[in-house]
Amino acid sequence: MSDTEPTVDDSTDSALARRIDDLNRIVYRFRQNPMSVVGLAIILSFVLIAVFAPWIAPYPSDAGHGGEPAVHFDQKFESPSADHLFGTDQAGRDIFSRVLFGTRLSLKIGVVVLAAAVSIGVPVGLVAGYVGGGVGMTLMRITDVFLSVPPLVLALSVSVALDSSLTNAMLAIAAVWWPWYARLTFGEVLSVKKETYVEASRGIGATSFRTIFRDILPNVLAPITVKMSLDMGYAILVAAALGFLGLGAQPPTPEWGTMVSQGRDYLPGQWWYSTFPGLAIFLIVLGFNFLGDGLRDMFDVEVQ
Amino acid sequence: MGTSINDHVDRRTFLKYGGAASISAIFAGCTDNQSTDETTNESGTDSPDSTESDGGSTSNGDDEATEFNYVTTVTPSSIDPMKGSDNLETLLLHNVYDPLLYYTDGTPPELQSWLATNYSVSDDGQTYTFELRSDATFHNGDQVTASDVKYSVQRMMDMQNGFSWMWEGVLSPENVEVVDEKTVRMTTNDVYAPFLYTLPFLYIVNQDQVEANANSDGQFGEHGDYGTEWLEANDAGSGPYQLASRERKREIVLEKNDDWWREFPHGQDGYEVVSAEMVQESATAAGRMREGAEMADQWLPLQTYNDLANEDGVRVHAKATFNPFYVYMHTQREPLDDVHVRRAISYAFDYDAALTDVMSGDSDHLQGPLPGAMWSHTDDLETYGQDLEQAQAELEQSEYTASDIDLEYTYVSGLTVEQNMGLLLQSNIQELGGSLSVNKAPWSNITEMTTSKESTPDMLAVYLSFSYADPDTFLYPAWHSNSHGSWTSASWYQNDEVDDLLTEARRTVSQEDRVPIYEQAQRIIAEDAPALFVMNQATRNALSTDVQGFKDNGITGYRQTFHRYYQG
Amino acid sequence: MGYRDYLIKRGLSTIPMFLGLSVLIFTLARVIPGRPARLALGPRATDEAVQQLRRQMGLNDPIWQQYVEYMAGLLQGDLGQSLISERNVATDLVEYFPATFELTTLAMLIAIFVGVPLGVVAGQHKDKWPDNASRLFSFFNVSLPPFWAGILLQLLVAFQLGWLPSTGRIGDVSPMPVETTGVLLVDSLLAANGAAFVSAAQHLILPAITLSLAPMADIARMTRSSFIEEYDKDYVEGLRTHGIPNRLIAYKYVLRKSFASTLTIIGLDYGFLLGSAFVVEIVFSWPGMASYGVEAILQKDMNAMVGVTLVVGASFLLVNFVVDVLYGFFDPRVWHEGESE
């Protein structure tokens, strides 16, 4: 970042003034990074698609919308055309409509997985970091164990153990994701703890609960937000990989990973079947990566 | 379906072995060598004994080993003759091992002599005496003897794997008696009419060789590991081919057994070497066919066969034999416990779309539970076609309304045809006013779900796999209440009359007498509509146009009995 | 604390991790619904046969007892029977591991040999177009679903252009390389079997490229940032005034010093790469441990599933251990700092 960046006067006493300064700095940094703006645009487009899918999609019923899943086996495997931008699948359904509706599912998976991961990981990290000692040590060793296997491999095992369904696939990914947040929170808590003001607030008899919520939590918020936006894309990617391997959404729910996998049976003749759903995964993940990178610069935090 | 199946039904000849004391049956001719294959619905004509005459017709003179490349997308987990139980695992077994009896190429297939030259049955229909060929030897030169047969039964039943379920409660190893070196006698626990039809799945192994190579440390007590480890890399059979090499997940190579007790029907034109290559991807399998492989398996996607059929030098053989696809309906759960609801659904399903659009038009609409080519199949059964008016009428007769129809359809993950059928059914049930959710589940879950009434899904899509050529193979496992708790019986169908009929048919020795019993049972089952009898799916194989003599009699693994094939 | 103590301490710390992992994955495998015994015996097995096999497999014992027995077996190289292959899982893994090792190693090498120069170029031209291009390239790479990237490569390079085979590990060559190490490239070289080497290499290229994409991006980014940090230091300016060419400065001096942090990311990425192998091997029908593992997990083949996961976890722990060892070697501050704790 260049030296024209607005600086924060650390001596400012007023919390409000500090917040405004923060905000200015944040918006400035965000706009400095063109990729983050593109990322934001991509994500906003996907959100809009998700919300307005029933109006945008030419054949909403092909994606199971309106409680009337439609099949047109007599129109199977039509190549991309003006009628069917992305062609049709083995049941004659419009792949374009299904890809559009698939956005809903992917965003939902990303949000639910990360919400679940954060709500497990952050408390674990907070407790481990705040309490410290043997308890903290044990908790962090447990998270390390989870981190010693690639997320996809563990998620695969967990989701098989839970039986294949969309909810369980999300649970499975959350189950392998929380350790990252536990670790992140733990690290932040340790560094915050060293700073004097926590010591001070302890001194005047603040309860542990208050200490955590008033002093520590706000400090870990920024890195967690950044990590969440970076992880959102990755969580979607893992979910798509599970779908690709046959775990996840039930038909006729349009799920991108499942669509790519089903299309594989028809390569290379019906190339469009795998190609377009895969493109959607790529774009949404790219969007979140751009955005997350922008947020990282914005909050100026280091996360993995 | 066309006329060919009816032809078979008309021409079918029954094995008669009941009645008079100890009738000795000599079997119908040898393998058939008509080469009038067509792309679809070929007729599997039986031409009794024309083998040797036409066999080694024009020897092509050159001594180069002719190789048959078989490409498959499925990998057999075992090549042990007592473990194999599906189409691919039996690939090896039918080529490397010999059973006592063998099926003919016709549809429906009949029995022919193989290691047993003839047999007799006692009056009470429980004791079978087999005479073994005098000239049959195993690949290591040992004679095939009666004690090898006894040992094979013992090994099969002790290991409780593969096809052993066929003889569970029917034949115990101690009831197999070695009369002399070439005579063996088997006594079944009860009269069990399909018994002979199961024998082509009892592969005879070389006792001495297996015992010599058994690892004494194993789970079978005094038998150690029963040679299971050794048999994964070696063979102990007497069949037309012997195992040359096996690379798990990649290739199995078989070489012609020059000392086979039987002639290759086409002599020099037969294939010297067979290599079964496992490729895992249908696109790769299709590529191999384009490059000139001789044959690809039956598990490629429909679309791939359609593409291949347009290639030069490749033809696709499609024939509906014994591959019925049902959608079981849980007859002991609301609202499917009402026959009118089941019939309403049966009338709602769009069979035409299923057969023409989901499939490619060469599968048959099932009439009742049995495929048309199976003997005793009854033509004048209640057959359900799509008729929405009648569906509504049935629904009105029931105690339920359309809104009570809120069902779950479960299919095996990865099977696109089953998924598509579910999607079609889903839209059909919606037209009726009900709703249906389509769920996939891995096969291992399904076998578990169907063990209890509570966990069995409302509707379950199943291919009722075929084994021995007897109506019992389809009817007893699906509709007899003794079979409850198995995936084959996911309707939880309970009808005492059907139970009695199916039991009676098993205990009736004469095939002629069994036909009316089975006809009666089929009629009741069709009326009760405990399943959607969707189709008898055509089995496809891609073949090089050079390959002659291909026959599909519908028996598990018989499409890959390579000794019958020759170069044209 | 000396380097040796650091190594020992670091080495010992992997043991509880491995044990924890084994408990986790073992428990998971045992709570999986579905009867493994039924799976082993085929769809028509009788209930008695299933029950008997359950007893034989010890599935009726308490889970801790099963775990203890499993770990006792593990120490002797016995990982239990696979239900699918009906062999000892250890035998299966010995067979399938080399293929995965070959694939992941080559992928990592590609990632390093493309990623590092990319990072250096980006670092040298900070905030100019090569940097931006490399940044964009990296973003694309990490956002590509590996299975989709593989399919695109197959469509383009294999099906459309016909340059390389779409699936498999080796073509129909004769003679086949004799298996000594199980790594086909090595085996065919040892046997001086040119045809086999070419075929194996052709089959390896597409899956290895697919797998290398994401780690390549990470390595490029990490190299870039550590390179910039080092490049700004005074001694670089000094070298430049001595007339040493830029290229030499970049690769000989700066890169060497900044490589330590790139090493860390390589260790971390190795884990992700192993994970991606689980889908990439499927796409390319690569007969390796990962596709074996996917089959095992989907088919609920308990012992195979535990075995594969443990090997994957152990490889990951091992790679990270090696990375830390090298890191300590490159950058002694790591173990010196340990003293202050």
What single-letter DSSP state applies at residue C332?
A: T
Q: CA–CA separation, A7 vs A2, rounded Å?
A: 11
Q: Which of B339-343, B510-514, C133-137 has the highest mean pLDDT?
A: B339-343
Residue B377 has pLDDT above 50, yes or no: yes
Residue B306 has pLDDT above 80, yes or no: yes
CA atoms within 13 A on the CB side of B138: 19
Region of poorest pLDDT, from A224-233, B79-88, B147-156, B517-526: B79-88
Burial A102-127 (b: 16+ CB within 10 A, else e): bbbbbbebbebbbebbbebbbebbbb
pLDDT digits (tens, 9 = 90+) for B268-294: 889 999 999 888 777 788 888 988 899
Mean local confidence (pLDDT), B12-19: 30
Region of poorest pLDDT, from A276-290, C40-54, C177-191: C40-54
Residue B258 has pLDDT above 70, yes or no: yes
Residue B371 has pLDDT above 80, yes or no: yes
- Domain positions in chain C are 3-33+79-143+212-336
Interface pTM (ipTM) of the complex? 0.88
pLDDT digits (tens, 9 = 90+) for B448-491: 788 889 989 999 999 987 788 899 999 999 999 988 988 899 99
pLDDT classification of B3: cutoffs 50, 70, 90: very low
Distance from CA of B505 to the nearest CA of C (A): 21
What single-letter DSSP state applies at residue A88?
A: B
Strand boundaries in B64-204, DSSP class E: 67-72, 98-99, 101-103, 111-113, 116-121, 127-132, 176-180, 183-187, 203-204
pLDDT digits (tens, 9 = 90+) for C234-288: 777 777 777 777 777 777 777 777 777 788 888 888 888 988 999 999 999 888 9
Alpha helices of chain A — where are they, by DSSP H?
15-32, 34-56, 95-131, 133-147, 151-162, 166-194, 196-203, 208-210, 217-244, 256-264, 272-299
pLDDT classification of B5: cutoffs 50, 70, 90: very low
pLDDT recorded at residue B50: 35
Burial C68-100 (b: 16+ CB within 10 A, else e): eebeebbeeebbbbbbbbbbbbbbbbebbbbbb
Range list for CATH 3.10.105.10 in chain B: 324-536
Mean local confidence (pLDDT), A122-131: 86
pLDDT recorded at residue B410: 94
pLDDT digits (tens, 9 = 90+) for C70-102: 999 999 989 988 877 778 899 989 989 999 999
Distance between start and end Cα atoms, chain A: 20
**What is the H or E stretch that residue C115 is in?**
helix C89-124
pLDDT digits (tens, 9 = 90+) for C291-316: 899 988 887 888 899 999 999 999 88
Asked if C25 and A241 come within 8 Å (Cβ–Cβ), the reply is no
Nearest to C20 among A142, A246, A290 (CB): A142
pLDDT recorded at residue A203: 57
**Chain B contacts of A164, Cβ < 8 Å?**
413, 440-442
Q: Considering only alpha carbons, which residue of chain C is nearest residue A276? A: C148
pLDDT classification of B54: cutoffs 50, 70, 90: very low
Residue B28 has pLDDT above 50, yes or no: no
pLDDT digits (tens, 9 = 90+) for C202-225: 999 999 999 999 999 999 988 888
Percent above pLDDT 70 for chain A:
85
CB A118 within 8 A of CB A184: no
Asked if B279 and C285 come within 8 Å (Cβ–Cβ), the reply is yes
Residue A100 has pLDDT above 50, yes or no: yes
Q: Considering only alpha carbons, which residue of chain A is nearest residue C142? A: A286
Beta bridge partners of B411: B440
pLDDT classification of C34: cutoffs 50, 70, 90: low
CB B532 within 8 A of CB B349: yes
CATH topology of domain C3-33+79-143+212-336: MetI-like fold (1.10.3720)
Distance from CA of C218 to the nearest CA of A (A): 11
Asked if A35 and C135 come within 8 Å (Cβ–Cβ), the reply is yes
pLDDT recorded at residue B226: 93
pLDDT digits (tens, 9 = 90+) for B113-164: 999 998 999 988 899 999 999 999 999 999 999 999 999 999 999 988 888 8
Helix (H, G, I), strand (E, B) or coil at B338: coil
Asked if C21 and A145 come within 8 Å (Cβ–Cβ), the reply is yes
pLDDT classification of C32: cutoffs 50, 70, 90: confident
Chain-centroid distance of CA C284 in Å reads 16
Range list for CATH 3.40.190.10 in chain B: 4-23+63-319+539-567
Chain-centroid distance of CA B547 in Å reads 23
Architecture of domain B324-536: Roll (3.10)
- What DSSP string describes B359-407? S-S-SEEPSSSS-TTSTT--SSS------HHHHHHHHHHSSS-GGG-EE
DSSP collapsed to 3 states, B250-279: CEEEEEECCCCCCCCCCHHHECCEEEEEEC
Distance from CA of A97 to the nearest CA of B (A): 17
Tell me whether C280 touches chain A (CB under 8 Å).
no
**Chain B contacts of A69, Cβ < 8 Å?**
423, 426-427, 430
pLDDT classification of B30: cutoffs 50, 70, 90: very low
Percent above pLDDT 70 for chain C:
93
Percent above pLDDT 90 for chain B:
52
Tell me which of B423, B444, B534 to substitute to probe the interface with A (most A C-beta atoms closer than 10 Å). B423
pLDDT classification of A16: cutoffs 50, 70, 90: confident
**Chain C contacts of A282, Cβ < 8 Å?**
143-145, 148
Mean local confidence (pLDDT), A160-182: 85
Mean local confidence (pLDDT), A93-121: 93
Mean local confidence (pLDDT), A128-138: 83
Distance from CA of A252 to the nearest CA of B (A): 7
Between these two residues, B304 and B479, which has the higher pLDDT value? B479
DSSP collapsed to 3 states, B483-527: HCCCHHHCCCCCCHHHHHHHHHHHHCCCHHHHHHHHHHHHHHHHH
Distance from CA of B19 to the nearest CA of C (A): 33
Asked if C46 and B487 come within 8 Å (Cβ–Cβ), the reply is no
Tell me which of B306, B349, B426, B445 to substitute to probe the interface with A (most A C-beta atoms closer than 10 Å). B426
Region of poorest pLDDT, from B304-308, B444-448, C30-34: C30-34
pLDDT classification of C335: cutoffs 50, 70, 90: low
Tell me whether C157 touches chain A (CB under 8 Å).
no
Residue B176 has pLDDT above 90, yes or no: yes
Kindly report the pTM of this predicted structure.
Answer: 0.82
Residue B187 has pLDDT above 90, yes or no: yes
pLDDT recorded at residue C157: 93
Residue B34 has pLDDT above 60, yes or no: no
**Chain A contacts of B440, Cβ < 8 Å?**
164, 246, 250-251
Residue B58 has pLDDT above 50, yes or no: no
Mean local confidence (pLDDT), B357-382: 88
Q: Considering only alpha carbons, which residue of chain B is nearest residue C33? A: B445
Q: CA–CA separation, B536 vs B546, rounded Å?
A: 29
Q: Does domain B4-23+63-319+539-567 have CATH number 3.40.190.10?
A: yes
Tell me which of C25, C104, C143 to substitute to probe the interface with A (most A C-beta atoms closer than 10 Å). C143
pLDDT recorded at residue C111: 94
Residue C54 has pLDDT above 90, yes or no: no
In single-letter form, the type of residue at position A294 comes to G
What single-letter DSSP state applies at residue C159?
A: I
Structural domains of chain A in order of their starting residue, each with its CATH number: 41-49+84-299 (1.10.3720.10)
**Nearest residue to B560 (alpha-carbon basis) of B63, B201, B94:** B94
Percent above pLDDT 90 for chain A:
32
pLDDT classification of A13: cutoffs 50, 70, 90: low
